[in-house]
Structure 1
Amino acid sequence: MKLAQTILAVLGLTTALISCETEYNNVGTQMLDNDLIGFEKYTATQINAATYLADDVNTRDYTINSLGHHNDAVFGTQTQHLVAQVGLSKTQSLSSIGDNPVIDSVYLHIPFKADALTKANARVVGSGTFDLKVYENGYTLSTSNPANNFSTQYYFSDLKNQIDQNIASTVLNNSTNTQQNTQFKFNTDPIKLYQYDANGQLVKDENNNPKVKETKSAGIWLDLDKNHFQNKFFANNKYKTLINEALFKEYFKGLYLQVNNPTSDALAQFDLTEGSLVFVYKQDKSDKSGKERKELVFTLGRDFGTDGNKNNISVALIENQHSGLLTTALAQANNPLIFLKGNQPTYSKISLFGTDGDNNGKPDELDAIIANNWMINQAVLTLTIDTQTSIANAPNRLFLYDFKNNKVLEDYALDQSTNPLKENYNGILNSGTKKYQFRITNYLKSLIEKDSTNFDLGLVVANEISNSLFNVTKNNKKLPLTASEMPFGTVLYGPNHTDVDKKMKLEIYYTKK
């Protein structure tokens, strides 16, 4: 059998998304091969890797959204905006509003996403400012596409121009507090809401301090123009005609959060389903004896649970300006470095065991392994970060998948570990060695024992390892959704790198029969 010249591919990443100068976390310090002493070990010699830039991705209904701006010397700049429908809560409706409603205030609150792996309270990168403008959206968002037999309607990351052309209001976040608009800045402190009486007067405690009614999670907090919403919904009793969700969303198409003029890095991640748009208003009491203070809470995001309580479309609008370094790297054949990034992701195709010189349908190196008739105890794929090129803000985990069939590996599917999630499958950054490791034992056994021909693996950055859904691009390629939702990336040692110790390694631990 003929074996091609050895090509080793290195692909690795990760770090936490929790500050403007993120350091490696302490998760993943245990090497997967530490407990394999006593077994025989074989290191594969034939591995190829090629990296590609995806087309614009579908950004509808992300499970995790980002907002803000980030400038990366390696990958370039990105600015992320958001357009989002708001919906009626199942426990509240416009029909519950009494007579003569008058809005006291309107606010938008979207909590930051906490990081399950690092235990950080908020995923916020950078301390810069930008001009945040919130508008009423005038562009209709739909779940199905009537022009294509009512198939699923996708919205792609390049939709911003169409949204800009359909703005339906003046700027709504017109607070005198400029940190809510022209000098918007992410604040990671919890948000305190103070108590007011029915007349809108601040309630004091026994020490004459404002009485805290509720403390909300840190996140985006914006006071919006109450006069706009008073006229939109309550003038001429318009709210009484919006008797169902469809009529409501046709009349009010949601909010558009537009990022402008960033001074420096400032980007945050959040789960829209945790957010809300709230009207605080007064209405006549039912016995006409005076006014009473009420709240009307509108939902954000899409809840994919069985109750379907939240069914609101959102679309991430992403502006990327790729760096010359990234463009050159992707165009260069056999580049010694591999560049992986999120949002409009790059992805790497890893081909194991080299060429099939005898044309029997299996790579020659795999044929040799099969012929040895080993009992496979464990297979570990090890990947290393190139810390000389890129390190800050890299994702905490990578996602390795079946490239041919666009699905998770059996090792992922069978892993029931929860703390951290999918720990056996792994792909977590080792904070000491700057390496990632994946257990792909079941995958390798399927190649050997089940005559599988899935010799190609895909590798992307991961935002949430629990998210195993696949997304689509404009040219109909499928990629893991978690890569699209991750705003950052990193650089890895490639197959032609001269540092042999840091190249990708597939190590097979076995027992001779």
Structure 2
Amino acid sequence: MKNTFTALKISIFSLFVLTSLVACDKDFSIIESDVLGEGNANFLTNTEFIPVTAYNKKLSALQVNNLASNLLGVFKDPEYGTTTAGIVTQLTPSVYGVDFGVNPTIDKVTLHIPYFSTAIGLDDEGNTTYQLDSVYGNANKPIKLSIYRSNYFLRDFNPLGDASTSQNYYSNASSTTNSALNGSTTINFDDHILETIFSASTIIPSSAASETITDEDTEDEIITYSEPAFKVELESEFWQNTIVAKSGGSELSNENNFKNYFRGLYFKAEAVDDTNDGSMFLVNLESTNAYITIAYTNGEDDARVENTYTLKFTGNKLNTFINDFETTLTDGDNVNGDSTIHLKGMEGSMAVIDLFGTEDLDGNEIPDNLDTFLKTYRKTDESGNFVKDEDDNYVLKRLINEAHLEIYEDDTQVSNTLDDNGDEYHKYDRIYAYDIKNNTTLIDYLYDPTENNAAVSSKIISLGQRGVLTDDDGEEKVKYKIRITEHLNNIIQNDSTNYNIGLVISNNVNYTNNSEILNSTDEVTAVPSASVITPRGTILYGSHESVDDDKKLKLNILFTETKED
């Protein structure tokens, strides 16, 4: 009996998804079908490991504006060193052309910026308790925080482009100052400080609910609680002179005038001592609860009226990064691969995975290693040409049931010490894979139904969680699996182009936007923005021949094929 496979219009991935939903864990299982398995008279399953080339790509000048959230603070990574993150942001009034009335006087100015947190229960009084989700480093170590009025104008449009070209800002982490690049110049935000509006050297993020008091010190006083936030009172005099005193003036009359008059705030974080240690936290400036509120009264002495004026953190905003690394990051060997792979967030490092060698994108030639792979999975005629059926589908000799990149953490360099929360330091690390050429997610990610708001357990079919396994010798290894089953099926069945795959570290695999690289001179033109707002890093074993086979980064394929007649 002669057995061949015709390229499937619908992949067996759907069968795998159903199985995964029944039993899904950190170290997902490989499927061995009862239908297409060893017990069947005509088919058998087998596994092969294919060597790939994995190498490092040092990152610099990454787009740092238009991010979904922003990092602020000081973070000392045990493998890499210290990064300091600052924020520069515009403010937008809730209303323009405001008249503050007769004899306006400020009672209180409140700055309120939510952290990212999760509600975890109720206290003894029935109030919600929270856990902070995105605090990195030494959570009990304070940082110094200064907030300045900035005189640097954050443009919306690039004057060097056409009228619709947005202005992007890029990281400059090799500098020793809070600076950014705009494509033509370097901006040191310390050179654009007008006034200090807040300064403290004891800032520690708290998981306590944020309290808001209305009708304070009266019989009608009400206390309401919301998610944890960085909340401080600001000195009234600055806001009286800068905002309230401009009542009815052109400065507050419209958006353009206001942005030119009040150009924004600059949040500058610093370590409090020479240990370069501290905490870094993700803040949600996009939240409706992120604001500066000016509470004031106006009117005659015998008829004072309470009012509020609110400023939001909408408009352009960006992160600044300063790296003080103890580990030197460099571009790797794209021919032989690297023995060690460095994944580091913010302006750090990524990996490039070359599966079969890069194709001639002009369509003239397929490299021998990809051609060999295709001939292993497609049926060929006596002349070595690929065979197609009457529907113009390739006839296959093998079906890929499961394919994934197998990646091991470098246990000689990665610290698994406990952080201040008692968790393993790298416990929630995730690796995010993307198509470098098109700056998109892989097709396996799109097919993955396991998306949820808890990023650590989202997309766990395509982007496996960090898992610890014990081998036959009793040695513990930390392993990642990045599924590329459909990615390979697309190459085999649909002649999809063999583009390289990028790997970055991420704490939020649900966030799929990209950050452009300024003036890129190679194939990597952007990185997933999720890695830009991820301060952590990890170190992995690479694909170089010097790495032990049982720890080497490789491609693992489980396939079904016809038995020999």
Q: TM-score range by the shorter chain?
A: 0.7 to 0.9
Rg larger for:
2
The answer to whether the aligner puts 1:143 opposite 2:156 as a matched pair is: yes
* Alignment partners' CA distance in 2, 1:28 and 1:114: 26
CA-based RMSD of the aligned residues comes to 3.0
Query: C-alpha displacement at 1:106, in angstroms?
Result: 1.2
Question: Does residue 1:493 correspond to 2:541, yes or no?
Answer: yes
CA contact 1:354–1:364 (8 Å) conserved in 2:
no
Map of 1:464-503 to 2, 5 A cutoff?
Answer: 464-476=508-520, 477-496=525-544, 498-503=547-552
Answering whether residue 55 of structure 2 is matched by residue 50 of structure 1, we say: yes
1:196 paired with 2:215, answer yes
Aligned CA distance change for structure 1 residues 347 and 488 (closer, same or farther; 3 Å): same
Map Cα deviations across residues 372-417 of structure 1 (whole Å, 9 max, x no partner).
6212222222222223312455463211111222222111223343
User: How far does residue 485 in structure 1 lie from its aligned partner after superposition?
Assistant: 1.6
- Given the alignment, which residue of 127, 133, 157 partners 1:122? 133
Corresponding residue for 1:7? none
Give the C-alpha shift of residue 100 in structure 1.
2.8
Which residue is 1:370 aligned to? 377
Superposition deviation, residue 85 in structure 1: 0.7
SS of 2:328's partner is helix
Aligned to 1:80: 85
- Select the residue among 268, 283, 288 that pairs with 1:258: 268
Instruction: Give the secondary-structure state (helix, strand or coil) at the position aligned to 2:79.
Output: coil
CA distance in 2, matches of 1:402, 1:114: 31
Q: How far 1:431 moved relative to its partner?
A: 5.5
Deviation at 1:300, TM superposition (A): 1.4
> Where do 1:206-217 residues align within 5 Å?
211-217=221-227
Matched with 1:31 is 27
Instruction: Quickly say closer, same or farther: Cα 1:99–1:371, change in 2 above 3 A.
Output: same
Further displaced range: 314-323 or 365-374 = 365-374
Q: Is the 8 A contact 1:400 1:457 kept in 2?
A: yes
Match in the other structure for 1:282: 297
Letter of the 1:133 counterpart: S
5 Å-filtered alignment, 1:334-483, equals 334-353=337-356, 360-361=366-367, 363-371=370-378, 373-391=397-415, 393-394=425-426, 396-419=429-452, 420-430=457-467, 434-476=478-520, 477-483=525-531
Unpaired segments ≥5 residues, structure 2:
1-22, 38-44, 120-129, 173-178, 181-186, 380-396, 417-424, 470-476
| Residues in 1 aligned to 2:331 and 2:490: alpha-carbon distance in whole angstroms | 34
Q: How many residues align?
A: 453
Q: In structure 2, how many angstroms separate the alpha carbons of the residues matched to 1:448 and 1:330?
A: 29
Structure 1's 293 and 43: CA in aligned 2 closer, same or farther, altered over 3 A?
A: farther
How many angstroms apart in 1 are the aligned matches of 2:54 and 2:118?
Answer: 30
The residue aligned with 2:233 is 223
User: What code does the residue aligned with 2:534 have?
Assistant: M
SS in 1 for 2:466: strand
Unaligned regions of 5+ residues in structure 1, if any? 1-26, 175-180, 206-210, 302-311
Q: Are residues 1:172 and 2:177 paired?
A: no
Secondary structure of the corresponding residue to residue 207 of structure 2: coil
Q: Residue 252 of structure 2 aligns to which amino acid in structure 1?
A: L
Amino acid in the other structure paired with 2:296: Y
Percent identity of the aligned residues? 25
Q: 1:478 to 1:236 in 2, by over 3 A?
A: closer
Structure 1 residue 331: Cα displacement: 8.3
Contact 1:468-1:482 at 8 Å conserved across structures: yes
Which residue does 1:11 correspond to in 2? Answer: none
Shift of residue 187, structure 1, vs aligned partner: 1.9
1:512 aligns with 2:561: yes
Match of 2:14 in 1: none
Following TM superposition, by how much is the alpha carbon of 1:234 offset from its aligned partner in structure 2, in angstroms? 1.5
Seen in structure 2, the aligned counterparts of structure 1 residues 253 and 182 have a Cα distance that, compared at 3 Å, is: same
Conserved? CA contact 2:405–2:481, under 8 Å: yes
Residue by residue over 1:272-310, the C-alpha shift from the partner in whole angstroms, topping out at 9 and shown as x without a partner, is 11221111111238xx86122222222114xxxxxxxxx
State how far apart, in whole Å, the 2-side matches of 1:257 and 1:345 are: 22
Contact 2:151 2:194 in 1 (8 A): yes
Change beyond 3 A, Cα 1:103–1:509: same
**CA–CA separation in structure 2 for the residues paired with 1:236 and 1:408:** 49
1:94-113 residue pairs with structure 2 within 5 A? 95=98, 97-113=100-116
Q: Contact 1:28–1:429 at 8 Å: present in 2 too?
A: no
Question: Any conservation in 1 of the 2:285–2:313 contact (CA below 8 Å)?
Answer: yes
Q: Secondary structure at the match of 1:487?
A: coil
In 2, Cα distance between equivalents of 1:241 and 1:507:
63
The answer to whether residue 328 in structure 2 is matched with residue 326 in structure 1 is yes
Alignment-mate amino acid for residue 323 of structure 2: N
Q: 1:273 aligns with which of 275, 280, 286?
A: 286
Structure 1 match to 2:390: none
Q: 1:162 to 1:321 in 2, by over 3 A?
A: same
Give the alignment's TM-score, normalised by structure 2.
0.73
CA–CA distance in structure 2, aligned partners of residues 238 and 163 of structure 1:
30
The separation in 1 between residues aligned to 2:226 and 2:212, in whole angstroms, is 8
Give a deviation string over 1:188-247, Cα, whole Å, max 9, x none: 2222233335xxxx2368xxxxx5522232122222121101000122535575222222
**Does the aligned pair in 2 maintain the 1:69–1:262 contact within 8 Å?**
no
Task: String of CA shifts for 1:325-366, please: whole Å, max 9, x gaps.
Answer: 33379589754211110101312111113599x964452441
- Deviation for aligned residue 1:120: 5.0
Q: Secondary structure at the match of 1:443?
A: helix
Amino acid at match of 1:367: L
How many angstroms apart in 1 are the aligned matches of 2:72 and 2:60?
21
SS at 1:482 equivalent? helix
Match among 282, 290, 295 for residue 308 of structure 2: 295
Q: Which stretch of the first structure deviates more once superposed, 52-61 or 371-380?
A: 371-380
* Residue 58 to residue 351, structure 1, CA distance change in 2 (3 Å): same
